[in-house]
Each structure stands twice: as C-alpha cells, then as structure tokens.
Amino acid sequence: MEGLNFLIIIAVVAVVAVLAYYSWKAERQRTSDLAALARRLGFRFSPRRDESHENRYHHFEVFRQGHSRCAFNTLSGSLAVGQRAMPILLGDYEYKVTTSNGKTTQTTTYHFSFAIAHLPYVGVPDVLIRPEGFFDKIKSAIGFDDIDFESAEFSKCFFVKSADKRFAYDLIDPRMMEFLLATRPPGLDMERGRILLTDGSRRWEPAQFERNIQWLQEYLERWPRHLIDQLESGGVRSS
C-alpha cells in the first residue's frame, strides 16, 4: 500500500512539473511574440515587472485591485491621429487577492491586458463607456440611471457615465454610436486626459494588441471636429 501511495505522489509531482514547464514555455513564447510585435511597430518593449505602474495610473480603478500589483510585457510608442502623435502604452497587468476563512489562507493571481493612450488636450472630462451588464440593468430599474441616448439599441448595449453629460452627448454622436456598436470594445475609461482600454479580466493574444491599437486610432479619429476645436481652444463647456 505504501508503495502505491509513493507512486501516486510521484505521478502527481510529475504532472505538476509538466504543467509548470508548458506554462513557462507559453509565457516565454508570449514575451517573444510581443517583443517581435513591438519591433515591427517601432515601439519599445520591456518584459520587466514594473511595480511603479499603479502609481502613475492609480486613478483607474482596475489598477487598484488586490495587492502585489505590477505591469509587464509593456510596449510603448506613439499613436498617429491626424497631425498629432499621442503616447500609448500597452501590456499585461498582474495583481493578487488573498482570502482567508479563519483556518486557511489562499492567494489567487489575476492577469489582464491593457492599452493606455495619452490625450494631447487639457480639461477632457472623465467618461466611462463599457458593455452594460446585468447589475447595471438592476440599478437602472431602481433609478440609478446611466446616460441614455436617442439610440435605444446603443443605450441597451452600453453603460455610459460622466459628470459632464453635455460632453458625453457631443462625443458619442450617431457616427460614434455606429462605430461602438459595430466594434463592441471591452471597456473604455477616460480619466485625467488618458484613455484606458481593457475588460480588466483577460489577457489579449499578441495579434489582439495590434487590433486594439488600430481600434484606438479609429476611435480617436471619430471624435467630432467641433469637440476637438473646443478642446484645442482651451477646454469644453461643461453641462
């Protein structure tokens, strides 16, 4: 019996070792693929763990979750929009959550990918645009409404929040609504002149990084001209 238990333990250890090896190999391949993407785009790449990321972008709630937070596999460069070049940062993010039931403690590690574009304008109001979820519908039913738009389809599909409703209405015009409905972004958070694109729960494949760079470029190119003129002249008029 003891011999059988020993063999079971050996088998379990072997399986864990094999899984750990393939996980390490997959991570190494991911890093290599992202480095190759950065070279092709003319971006800088760093696989190092950046624990200062949350200090620079702590205003985004998604970067304040858990503990042991850091960004890694980061690509940095510029995004060409019209005649402007906007700094952009993309990468993977990691945080840990520790729970305890009084007897045992368990720590779970979470990962997701992100893209952050720095706007060249001053005084851009904060706006949150994300797919509407079940709890959003419950809140709406009891009077905690998000911003509603003339398009019933858009209002049904997206949760939009901003202290400056006039800016949100100007930004999300019929042309922008059509674009958002067609492309269904995971989540868009604009705060302090920066745009964050992420769903806060999943990592992107390397090819998706490039698609999301393109998405941000197309999104910014669809900002209404009169809104850009206001921002370039010193800011928007609040509602």
The verdict on residue 239 lying in a domain is no
Strands 127-131 and 158-161, sheet pairing:
antiparallel
The verdict on residue 238 lying in a domain is no
- Give the model confidence (pLDDT) of 52-66 as tens digits: 999 999 999 999 999
The verdict on residue 237 lying in a domain is no
Q: Domain count of the chain?
A: 1
- Predicted confidence at residue 145, as pLDDT, reads 61
**R_g over Cα of the chain:** 22
Q: Inform me whether the pLDDT recorded for 11 exceeds 90.
A: no
What contacts 24+ positions apart, CB below 8 Å, involve 168-173? 168/125, 168/127, 170/224, 170/226, 170/227, 170/236, 171/127, 171/223, 171/224, 171/227, 172/129, 173/224
The verdict on residue 21 lying in a domain is yes
> Which segments of 42-164 does DSSP mark as H helices, in order?
53-56, 134-141, 152-157
| Mean of all residue pLDDT scores within the chain | 87
- Give the model confidence (pLDDT) of 135-157 as tens digits: 454 444 434 468 989 899 998 99
Q: Inform me whether the pLDDT recorded for 96 exceeds 90.
A: yes
Q: Domain range spanning residue 79?
A: 2-232
